[in-house]
A and B are shown apart, each in its own frame.
Chain A
Amino acid sequence: MTPPRYLLAIETSCDETAAAVITHDRHVLSNVVASQTDLHLRYGGVVPEIASRAHVQAILPVVKEALAKANVTLKDLEAVAVATRPGLVGSLLIGLTAAKSLAWGLGIPLVAIDHLQAHIYACQLATQQPLYPCVGFVVSGGHTNLYHCPTPITFNPLGGTIDDAAGEAFDKVAQILNLGYPGGPVIEAAAIHGDSHAVQFPQAFLHEDRLDFSFSGLKTAVLYAAHGTPGARAVPPPLNTQRIADLAASFQRAVIEVLVAKSVAAMHQTGETRLAVGGGVAANKAFRTSLSSAATRHGFEVFFAPLDLCTDNAAMGGLGWEYIDARQFSPLDLDVTPGLVRVSTDHR
């Protein structure tokens, strides 16, 4: 029996400081996230300490805990993987610097991974079945992007949001409807008791071939429906519990219908048979149900990231093994790439 091989993965692209240990057979031994969600709640949706300082304070304890939970030591590690794009430059740098130091100190390879490819790869961690080639869909607070993914480490953008991300729309509509934070779960809960056809909200690009999204007009339409159109005499219905439920349900339907329609269109345009969906919005049950039934109707398979790997985490950095298997390592003078990569990343 060959001895197990261990990869340490680090993720600091936005709010979360995370580390995980994944074996070469893609078994997640530990998955530690220093989440600020409890702080989010306390401050009503804002990030109290978003900056690199929080990552600096958290990174070493998080790495230590990931190693301890996996019951491995630093010298057991074969390589270190780290998300270097896209994200907030100061935050990415903390993770990269930690990863570089470990790789240099331990004399092991450094592997730079794409945060969005990792979100898609989270789906592969939940199935024994080969996922690639596939269409990858990242739907979160910061992203709503469709990719054609020939392999785990290559992808080509098919389309994305031109303004607000889907998850951001959920958060802002939750604020408009006074439902609290985070927006996804509270809208979903309120929508259960609402009529999803009470209001017909705009669904940008729904009937166009382009695989892009726009949720900013939808957000504004919900604002007007809830609190009245500026300059208009008409007074909107009172914003009582039922009205809030109706608006939440109608909003959620509008978003999901667009997400599902564009997923189906992407499958048709690429001719792929498997769709992989990651990111925080992939945790929305109504979205999962609706997309699963569309997949059945249109004859493709859909894979969702496991619930605990939908939001930002380092376990999805198991993607690093794909780079290692392809012998694609990164130099120690590597820099971060904060911007969204809009061209193919199959070379570097």
Chain B
Amino acid sequence: MIQQAEMVFMTQTERETVELGRKLGEVCVPGLVLALAGNLGAGKTRLTQGLAAGLGIDGDEVTSPTFGLVHEYSGRLMVYHFDTYRLPNDQSFLDLGAEEMFAAGGVCVIEWASKVAACLPANRIEIEIEAAGETTRRISLRAFGHREVEVLRAAYPGQPEVE
């Protein structure tokens, strides 16, 4: 069975959400796939800005890829930032070159990932953001795969795991 681990955080401010992303970015390894879920306004792009900052990319460079569909940023590792909001089906996601980017040795971040769940590698970190208050967010991170679990534990040492 594939190794798994889950952690849940409550962030009270946007800054804390960004910080959570930054910690993960600092320990990202080549080939990691991060699948983001959450409604409009939940903070998917904000969290990605933090993640990019942790990889040495200026957070202001990271903008919503809703129209551009995929943005690329160059940091300690390349970041491929996808947004499936405008995509109707799996094929259109694959047509963007998603599988090539999964294998390109960078970090892939996919906003609205549940729309293309069937296209994602089994080894990934799923990040689900739920609005629990005006700026309060419940953020759950589920790592699937040995390396992904290690990354999660390295990012948040001491954070209890959900049984």
Contact = CB atoms under 8 A, between A and B. Distances in A.
Nearest to A213: B63
Interface in B24-53: 40-41, 45-46, 49
A50 B64 contact: no
Taking each of B68, B88, B131, which has the highest tally of chain A beta carbons within 10 Å of its own beta carbon?
A: B68
Contacts of A14: 67-69
Contact of A339 (B59, B71, B136): B71
Interface in A296-348: 338-339, 342
Interface of B: 40-41, 45-46, 49, 59-61, 63-64, 66-73, 85-88, 92, 95-97, 131-134, 136
Given A90-B96, A342-B61, 16 more contacts: A14-B69, A46-B87, A49-B92, A50-B86, A89-B97, A140-B67, A172-B66, A216-B41, A216-B46, A220-B40, A224-B41, A229-B133, A232-B134, A339-B71, A339-B72, A339-B73
16 contacts: A14-B68, A45-B86, A46-B85, A47-B88, A52-B95, A142-B66, A164-B63, A165-B63, A165-B64, A219-B41, A230-B131, A230-B132, A230-B134, A230-B136, A231-B132, A339-B71
A217 to B, nearest CB: 8
Interface of A: 14, 43, 45-53, 86-90, 140-142, 160-165, 167-168, 171-172, 175-176, 212, 216, 219-220, 223-224, 229-232, 338-339, 342
Where chain B touches its partner, the secondary structure class is loop
Contacts of B68: 14, 86-88, 142
Nearest to B68: A142
Nearest to A46: B88
Nearest to A169: B64
Nearest to B131: A230
Contact of B95 (A50, A160, A223, A230): A50
Given A87-B68, A232-B134, A163 B40 contact: no
A120 to B, nearest CB: 18
Nearest to A88: B69
Nearest to A173: B40
A142 B92 contact: no
B112 to A, nearest CB: 11
A292 B68 CA distance: 30
Contacts of A165: 63-64, 67
B46 A163 contact: yes
Given A53-B95, A90-B96, A223-B40, A338 B134 contact: no
